Amino acid sequence: MFLPSVLAASSFVEVRPGLIFWTIVTFVIVLLVLRAKAWGPILSLVEEREKQISNAIESAKRERAEAEKLLADQKTAIAEARREAAETTRRVQADMEKFRDELMAKSRKEAEELKLSARREIEDQKAKAIAEVRSMAVDLAMEVAGKLMNERMDDAKHRALAEQFVQGLPGATSATATRRSA
C-alpha cells in the first residue's frame, strides 16, 4: 500500500541535472575557499608542529647522549684526577721517605766519621803521649842510672842498652809499671 505510492511518487530517485551542476559548483567553490583559508594553514601548522616535535625529540635525544658522554668524561676525569693525586701523594711520601733515609744515613755516617776521627785523634794523642812518656822514662832512667852508678859511661852504648831494656818491657800498661818500677 505504501510501496506503490512510494514508487509512483519516487521524486527522490529522480536525478536533477541542475542539482548535480550546483553540487559540483558548490563543492569546487568550497574546496577552493577551504584550501586557501583552512586546509592550507591547518595542514602547514600541523606539519610545522610535527616537525618541531620531532626536532625537539631529536635534540633531546642528542642532548641526552651528549650529557651522558659529558658525564662519562667527567667521571673518567675525576677518576684520573683522583689517581693522579694518589700517585703524587705516594711519590711525595716516597721522596720524603728516601730523603729522610738519606739524611739519616748521611748524619749517621758523619757522626761515625766524627767518632772515628775523634778516636783516631785520641789514639794518636795516646800514642804520642806514650812515646813521650817512654822517652821521658828513658831519660829519667838514664839520669837515675847515671847518678846511681856514679860513673861516666859511654853515652851511646848505655843508651842502646837502656833502650833495649825498655823494649823488653811489656805494652802500654807496662809503661806505668815501668815508670813505677823505675
For binding to other proteins (CB under 8 A), which residues are involved? 1-2, 5-6, 8-9, 11-24, 26-31, 33-35, 37-46, 48-49, 52
Considering the complex, what minimum distance in angstroms separates the CB of residue 50 from other proteins?
10
Termini Cα distance of the chain? 184
Which one, 35 or 119, has the nearer CB to other proteins?
Answer: 35
Which one, 16 or 119, has the nearer CB to other proteins?
Answer: 16
Considering the complex, what minimum distance in angstroms separates the CB of residue 20 from other proteins?
4
Considering the complex, what minimum distance in angstroms separates the CB of residue 56 from other proteins?
11
Helix (H) or strand (E) holding 168: none
Residue whose cell numbers read 847515671: 146
Decide if 180 contacts 142 (C-beta within 8 A).
no
Report CA torsion sign: 122, 127, 133, 135: negative
CA distances for 64 relative to 50, 69, 70, angstroms: 21, 8, 10
C-alpha–C-alpha distance, residues 177 and 114, integer Å: 33
Which one, 15 or 156, has the nearer CB to other proteins?
Answer: 15
Which one, 24 or 114, has the nearer CB to other proteins?
Answer: 24
Considering the complex, what minimum distance in angstroms separates the CB of residue 61 from other proteins?
20
Considering the complex, what minimum distance in angstroms separates the CB of residue 59 from other proteins?
16
C-alpha–C-alpha distance, residues 68 and 165, integer Å: 103
Which one, 2 or 164, has the nearer CB to other proteins?
Answer: 2
Residue 53 is placed in which grid cell?
Answer: 616535535
